[in-house]
Structure 1
Amino acid sequence: MSEVHTGKLSSVERVQLTRVIMSILDSWGMTAKQQVDLLNLPPKTPSRALRRYREDTPFPQTNEVDERLEHIVGIVDALRTTYPHNPAMGALWMKQRNKQFQDRSPLRVMVDEGLDGMMRIRAHLDCAYDWFNDSRTGASGK
């Protein structure tokens, strides 16, 4: 999986991406409420809507949802390159407490901090993403 520009996807590709993202969130052990919150879906999104996302309905096409999808894809891609010989390690790493995150799991950081947490986890895993963002904002290197 590589960087995805969700605005340029066909409706079939959006359905495929939605299925993949739901599978990823399920593999991370996220509850339905956590999935709704992380994806910035409407707060009262019913569980049957999440079931439809797993089957044949694409996520709503909004800037907020699309940005979060791109971060999830970036995180998964970084986990794939971090653990190239054992894909299950990525999901395990997402659930393990980490001193870098005040003894919280990366998943907890994302749930607690939303988009900022997603960007923080992605930057931790992907030095190219972190460097690119630092250079765009003028922030100094780490």
Structure 2
Amino acid sequence: MTHLTRDERLLLTRRTMQLLEDWGATARDMIDLLQLPNTIKARHLGRFRDQDVFPDDPVINRRIAYLERIEQALHTYFPRNPEMRKLWVRRAHKQFGQRAPMAVMIEDGESGLIAVLSHLDCTFAWDLTGSRADYQRAS
């Protein structure tokens, strides 16, 4: 986010907060998902809805990017039904050992975010496995 203006960062912060609220994330879940610093308490999260921006930290920025890509992929799966997008992250899935994607993202940290995104977005998984590099070498 370092290349973004304060207004752009504020918009991104608000969008991320709204997304997490739509998914039913608690304040503790939001702090864990984003790996916010220990100085930010649950009672302070309201500031991010109003006037503050998330800290400009590479870990937080990467996690926000994962969350955005997950939402984009869900929008592709359920283009006309936002309620299904919300339900999908809260419903247990066989692919995640009967855990909900939200639980996977919270409990497993960054690897959980990657697992959920890889499940939803085959191009992300393809890039991760090195298949893209293998394909480019063969071309």
TM-score by length of 1: 0.88
2:9 aligned with 1:14? yes
Partners of 1:44 and 1:100 lie apart in 2 by 35
Higher relative contact order (CA 8 A, sep 6+): 1
Q: Secondary structure at the match of 1:30?
A: coil
**1:3 — aligned with what?**
none
Query: What do you get for the CA RMSD once the two structures are aligned?
Result: 1.7
Q: Does 1:87 align with 2:44?
A: no
The answer on whether the counterparts of 2:31 and 2:42 sit within 8 Å (CA) in structure 1 is no
Q: Is the 8 A contact 2:13 2:53 kept in 1?
A: yes
Q: Which residue of 2 aligns with 1:60?
A: 55
Q: Which residue in the other structure is 1:73 paired with?
A: 68
- Greater Rg over alpha carbons, structure: 2
State the secondary structure of the residue aligned to 1:65: helix
Q: Distance in 2 between matches of 1:28 and 1:101?
A: 17
Quote the residue 1:50 is aligned against.
45
- Alignment identity in percent? 36
Give the conservation status (yes or no) of the 8 Å contact 2:35–2:60.
yes
TM-score normalised per structure 2: 0.90
Partner of 2:94: 99
Matching residue of 1:133: 128
In the other structure, the counterpart of 2:137 is: none
Q: State the number of aligned residues.
A: 134
- Residue type matched to 2:4 in 1? L
* Aligned-residue offset at 1:44: 4.7
Q: CA deviation at 1:136?
A: 7.0
Say if 2:26 is the partner of 1:31: yes
Q: Cα deviations across residues 8-41 of structure 1 (Å, max 9, x unaligned)? A: 2111000000000000101111111111011001
> Where in structure 2 are there 5+ consecutive unaligned residues?
135-139
